[in-house]
Structure 1
Amino acid sequence: MNKAISDVARGFKLYHVWLYQAYYNLSAKYRRTIFGSLWIAANMVFTSIAISLVWGGLWGKSLQEVLPYSLAGNLIGTMCLLPFYEGPDMFVGNSGMITNHAYPFTYYVLETVAQKLMLFVNNLIVYYIFMIVLHGPLIPNWTVVPGLALVVVGLFFWGSLIGMLAARFRDLRYLLPNIGHILYFLTPIYWHYEMLKTNHWVADFNPLYALVSIIRTPLMGGLASPENWSASLITVAIGAVLWAIFFPMFRRRIPFWV
């Protein structure tokens, strides 16, 4: 366990490296383009508008009413799904560096989480521009800060676990993104919890819904329910316990698995 804690400490000490690498990986994709990283936000906006137009028509609601909820859900939901999308490649995708450099394994987790957080901030700016256009200036509730912090901590623990599992069992690299897609559309991202009527269990037992809610609700000026906070804390706590058990046990095998 001491070596695992030392791995985490060494990883955080390299913050200047993984922060720069995360920024470089994002910016390199859009080098020599006119709009740069705005293309990332454009994908979020176009998807949210298209779905809001269709589903808003089905529900008999205007675009101004549906779009803010859908846009915020898309913004936060894609970040919370890091363990399913980026997690499987967290160590396998860096196999060359892992086998040739003595970086702590936590470094690769922190770089991936930092890259996802940068994407979130980039898209958040565009989100608020749309909110000003649709509803005027919107002041978020202060609980968005602890909500975001809790989600980031959860991404660290669960991302590490999924990264190790996918390095050991390669089929998970293809299975987990598909599970992530299914979970995304089973979660009230574009539609409201109340629409489930008698099937509330679909959201009640869905940890993604709770994690999204503790950021989306305060981001839109409200307060997340105690149930969402409890579910989020339990999800992160389970990830922390599993990490404390399996990361010290298997971290030294990662170079052989990748």
Structure 2
Amino acid sequence: MAVTVTDNEPGDVVDPSEVSSPRSWRRAFADLHQGWVARPLWGHLGWQDIKQRYRRSVLGPLWVSISMGVIALGLGILYSALFETPIETFLPHVAVGLLIWNFISGCILEGSEVFISNEGLIKFLPAPLTLHIYRLIWRQTLFFLHNLVVWAVLMVVFPHPLGWSLLLALPAFALVALNGGWIAILSGILATRFRDIPPIIASMTQLIFYLTPIVWSVEILTNNSEAARERASLVELNPVFHFLEILRRPLLGQEIIGRYWVVAGVITLIGWAAALVCLRNYRSRVAYWV
């Protein structure tokens, strides 16, 4: 499978300063566009990543859903007993939280090493740098779709009042995936220059997991006292919380809260602005840093 990559289309009027300087917005946006055009390549590579991971396995990619389902079941039963909450509501809460968290953490952890792990392809394949970002997001999306089986089973066992708001899960997931893209670009480029970045990100990701209401619920804290409700409001300072809620609430048929979407949208704009600046200034150096 061959992919031809060019920075300019035939007939384009090119500013000589844009050609001579590797730091240009034109080249940065062209990299994003050319990476998207190379969908057959990164789409195929994403499938191969999953097949390779479960090669010679009897159940194959089903292990993705099985492992996630077992963890969700164990944590759901444990914490529902600790918090004295009905398992029919708390187990889906934990399972969907883990489903979304696996996608987010996968983008963060693999994003910090996305260029380091593809050193050979970057040096010898004349392809856009963002091709590896699209490949990463596509691979994590496939894992997410596999894990949706767990959500479907739980909705059958523990029915929730799903309505038209369920359709909001599509733009919510698209927004989460967009943020996975800028995180991978930003952390991936920085990690190629400073190799201490991946372990730092891994430690921070583990901390964020405990600070995010995935295996615990904000509602449990707010039912205790006024002081507890004030402390619980601090969870909104966690950016991951907003992305978790805009996707989890439609999947569980819960009330849609507009401020979560507003915060998620603002974070997306700021994050992509920072990622584009980094891509513009340092994309040409990644091949030397890896």
TM-score range, shorter chain: over 0.9
Contact 2:107–2:140 (CA under 8 A) maintained in structure 1: no
Secondary structure of the residue aligned to 2:130 is: helix
In 2: Cα distance, 1:223 partner to 1:244 partner:
34
How many equivalent residue pairs? 258
Number of the residue aligned with 1:37: 61
Q: Report which of the two structures shows the higher radius of gyration computed on alpha carbons.
A: 2
In 1: Cα distance, 2:85 partner to 2:190 partner:
43
Number of the residue aligned with 2:95: 71
Contact 2:106–2:140 (CA under 8 A) maintained in structure 1: yes
Number of the residue aligned with 2:246: 214
In 2: Cα distance, 1:49 partner to 1:42 partner:
10
Number of the residue aligned with 1:252: 284
In 2: Cα distance, 1:163 partner to 1:201 partner:
32
Number of the residue aligned with 1:27: 51
Gap runs ≥5 in structure 2: 1-24, 222-227
198-207 or 1-10, larger mean C-alpha shift = 198-207
Gap runs ≥5 in structure 1: none
- Superposition deviation, residue 65 in structure 1: 2.1
- Superposition deviation, residue 150 in structure 1: 1.0
Contact 2:47–2:139 (CA under 8 A) maintained in structure 1: yes
**Does residue 237 in structure 1 map to residue 269 in structure 2?**
yes
**Does residue 190 in structure 1 map to residue 215 in structure 2?**
yes
- The correspondence for 1:228, drawn from 256, 260, 266, is 260
- Residues 100-150 of structure 1: CA deviation (Å, up to 9, x unaligned): 111100100000000001100110123202221232795562211111111
In 2: Cα distance, 1:192 partner to 1:88 partner:
29
Give me the CA root mean square deviation. 1.6
Number of the residue aligned with 1:122: 146
- Superposition deviation, residue 238 in structure 1: 1.1
Higher helix share: 1
Secondary structure of the residue aligned to 1:35 is: coil
Give the aligned residue type for 2:76.
S
Matches of residues 21-170 of structure 1 in structure 2 within 5 Å?
A: 21-135=45-159, 138=162, 141-170=166-195
Secondary structure of the residue aligned to 2:112 is: helix
191-200 or 156-165, larger mean C-alpha shift = 191-200
Hey, which bits of structure 1, 4+ residues long, moved more than 3 A?
136-140
